[in-house]
Amino acid sequence: MPRPTSALALGGAFVTTLLLAGPTTAQDYDPEARLAEMGITLPEGRVEGRMFNQAVQTGNLVFTSGHAPCGEWPEEAGEFRGRGKVPSEVSTEMAQLAARQVVVCTLANLKAHLGDLSRVTRVVRVFGMVNSDADFTGQSGVMNAASQLLMDVFGEERGRHVRSAVGMVSLPVGLTVEIEMVFEVENN
């Protein structure tokens, strides 16, 4: 005896509607194409380091190490390469460029782990550490550059994460920004 139309079948119809609905469809989900459209080239990534890894997967979560910036810096960065304290040595605007390049570097290493960034189903957590003077209170503004880039690349729905933006008294090699993340990915 045939089973009646089930909730699952209705779910299927709903998914079909979503797929036809425009810019937020699964078909359009291509983070690497989005990076290319934005003129961002990921540098060659690498998972394994000497003392620790840049990414470790457990279940369908990928944890990434606290990253430094890398990749090609935009012209407005001038000679700045992401070192120094905010704001006594580095302006908020420059720190935002650093935050952005830290995301670029994280995505490069994440791609080395995943093969393709379209396997990311959700950016879960962003922990943004800004090398700060004791009276600097603009860490959120600095980290907005990272959050915006993640939403631009992964889309509003998958790119939206929880975030902490905090002030560190100092960071390795004098980094301006170090970011640690957690991503949810498709099961293998």
Binding site for a copy of itself (CB under 8 A): 48, 51-56, 58-61, 63-66, 85, 122, 124-127, 129, 132-140, 144, 147-148, 151, 160-174, 178, 180, 182, 184
User: Strand, helix or coil at 140?
Assistant: helix
Tokens of 53: 């890894």
Min separation Cβ 141 and a copy of itself, Å: 8
Q: Which two tokens stand for residue 164?
A: 């902490």
Q: Which is nearer to a copy of itself, 45 or 167 (CB)?
A: 167
Q: Looking at beta carbons only, is 10 or 36 nearer to a copy of itself?
A: 10
At its nearest, how many Å lie between a copy of itself and the CB of residue 50?
Answer: 9
Alpha carbons within 13 angstroms on the beta-carbon side of residue 175 total: 19
Tokens of 118: 């379209």
Query: What residues form DSSP beta bridges with 55?
Result: 64
Q: Could you identify the residue written with the tokens 């299927």? A: 12
- Is the Cβ of residue 8 or residue 52 nearer to a copy of itself in the bound state? 52
Q: Which is nearer to a copy of itself, 20 or 31 (CB)?
A: 31
183: tokens are 């991503």
Cα 57–chain centre separation = 16
